[in-house]
Amino acid sequence: MLRGIGLSHLSKNEQAFKELKEKGMALGAEHPAGASKEMYMTDTLAGKTCTPCKGGVPPLTSEEAERFHEQVPRWELRDDAKRIEQTFRFRNFGESLSFVQRVGELAEREGHHPDICFGWGYATVSLQTKKIKGLHENDFIMAAKMELLIDRATA
């Protein structure tokens, strides 16, 4: 799945997120005007913080991974739902590099580090919790936060 640089729904997204936060709304509640279900779920994940994974925790089942995937549908489930991946497209190498730098800073803050491959006009990000050799909620939290990074960069 490829994502173009020309996205411009940031202000609507931020407005909806602010409304949800002010109302303390939980997942599954009625969405405020202007907030799509996709935006609402992504912002719910984006509002969470990654928790340290010590191993010994089972990875998400395929069904659990599918439910989280619904919240970040631009990402692809790969390797029998053991990882998620997305290729982001940019206008040049500098934009790719800038995005990768922001993802690196986010990864350090969250303590959850993706695999990244990038070059002129693209960055491919792959997420998997290595300690459990599969997906964890943290992978989807990072995916949602990266969605906000790309939205802010293209607004």
Q: What are the structural domains of the chain?
A: 2-154 (3.30.1360.20)
The two beta strands, 122-127 and 83-89, are antiparallel
pLDDT band at 154 (very low <50, low <70, confident <90, very high): low
Structure tokens at 105: 């800073």
Distance CA 137, CA 65 (A): 8
pLDDT in tens, 93-132: 999 999 999 999 999 999 999 999 999 999 999 999 999 9
Distance CA 128, CA 131 (A): 9
Q: What is the pLDDT of residue 43?
A: 53
pLDDT at 92 over 70: yes
Structure tokens at 92: 């040049």
Q: Higher model confidence: residue 119 or residue 13?
A: 119
- Sign, CA torsion 25/18/39/92: negative
Q: What is the pLDDT of residue 78?
A: 97
Average pLDDT over residues 89-94: 96
Distance CA 89, CA 124 (A): 9
Give 53's contacts (C-beta < 8 A, 6+ positions apart).
129, 131, 132, 136, 138
pLDDT at 47 over 90: no
- Sign, CA torsion 74/114/82/89: positive
Q: What is the pLDDT of residue 32?
A: 39
Average pLDDT over residues 38-65: 80
